[in-house]
Amino acid sequence: MINNHTVRMENELCHEESVSFINGKNRQNSSKSTETKHRRQNLKYAVFIGSSCLAVVLLVLAFTVTWHKHHTYSAIENSIARSSFKFCGNQSAKACIQDPACSLSRQRRLVNGKIAREYTWPWMAEIVYNNEHYCGAVLISDDVLLTAAHCLYHRESRLYVDDIEIRIGSRRKLSTDNNTQILKVSSIHIHEFFKLSSLQNDIAVLKLNSPVRLSRSCWPICLGSKADNFIGRGIMTGWGKTSIIGRFSSLLREASVPIVPVSRCIEANRDLFDGVKVSGANHICVGYGKDRPDYGCNGDSGGPLMIQSNNGKWLLIGVMSWGEPQCSSVKTNSYTVFTSISPYLDWIEKLV
């Protein structure tokens, strides 16, 4: 039998259970929510810590790569110094005008050239004699240079290793700036068939007492090969005079000049010097003749004639030898004569 009191008790009990169930569910939801917040916070901390660690790792990696590249590049620079220089080529005394036999009158200068930019020709060196600029020279390895043989004579007297020094690394003549390296010569090798009277075989090798420090301001040029057919244009550089009565250029000058057929040069330069003739086998001639005054003269002897290969490397194809004594191609319709490197490659390689 069910009475009102019983019903009320049952209703109250049901209500309490219902409330208890609801409150229990709420406590579960609250517990889950708190746990989720903790998980999210932990995830944020993990992401932050992970990101920080990654940033540190990347910084260390970047530093390591930079250090490695720097020291690897230095190692490459030094290691190729004694090798084939596969990275080579990667971008001068008062005239004796009255005496045609005087060797000084054949030391060329650049007439009508322009000032070269810094670091453009890092293989360009100068021979210094009696504390004065005397001739140009060209770096072909870390301790070997090429020049003209007549640059190792003062008038008729032979110069020796104690008489000269080499400066390289700056476009400024007789420079002593931080880029300039001043070096002594250990040995001089003048070609055995060189004749001062005729300037035939006008080429010499200079070996340094110590290797140069390779840098963007001091780097060897590549040698042209025997198979090269030199046509088109070349670049010549030097610190020579810019006029016959002027002084040597204080800054390195360059001139772009056409390479002319040797047959034309033989005829044009025939009577410039007694006993001095152009040889088709051993010479390269450049210039404009009577059309333009771009010419080499006093102070430029021994400097390079260069061409750029298809792969962008610069090749040495000649060293400046001689030209018109008044440094005027316009007056005589003549050309600047370079000793070609090709016939002497075997001789050079034996010495290098």
DSSP annotation string for 303-330: -EEEEE-TTS-EEEEEEEEE--TTS-HH
C-alpha–C-alpha distance, residues 229 and 215, integer Å: 31
**pLDDT at site 76:** 33
Is 80's pLDDT higher than 70?
A: no
CA 253, 255, 260, 264 torsion-angle sign: negative
Are 225 and 83 contacting, i.e. CB atoms less than 8 angstroms apart?
no
Same domain, 189 and 310: yes
Question: What average pLDDT does this structure show over 313-327?
Answer: 90
Residue 288, token pair as written in the block: 């404009």
C-alpha distances out from residue 247 to 74, 158, 161, Å: 39, 24, 26
User: Which range among 92-96, 199-203, 213-217, 335-339 shows the weakest confidence by mean pLDDT?
Assistant: 92-96
**Domain count within the chain:** 2
Tens of pLDDT, residues 334-347: 999 999 999 999 99
Last residue within a domain, chosen from 82, 105, 127: 82
Domain span holding position 34: 1-82
- How do strand 222-223 and strand 314-322 relate by DSSP bridges? parallel
Same domain, 155 and 226: yes
Same domain, 104 and 70: no
CA 326, 122, 315, 135 torsion-angle sign: positive
Same domain, 40 and 114: no
- Output the average pLDDT for the chain: 76
Give the pTM. Answer: 0.70
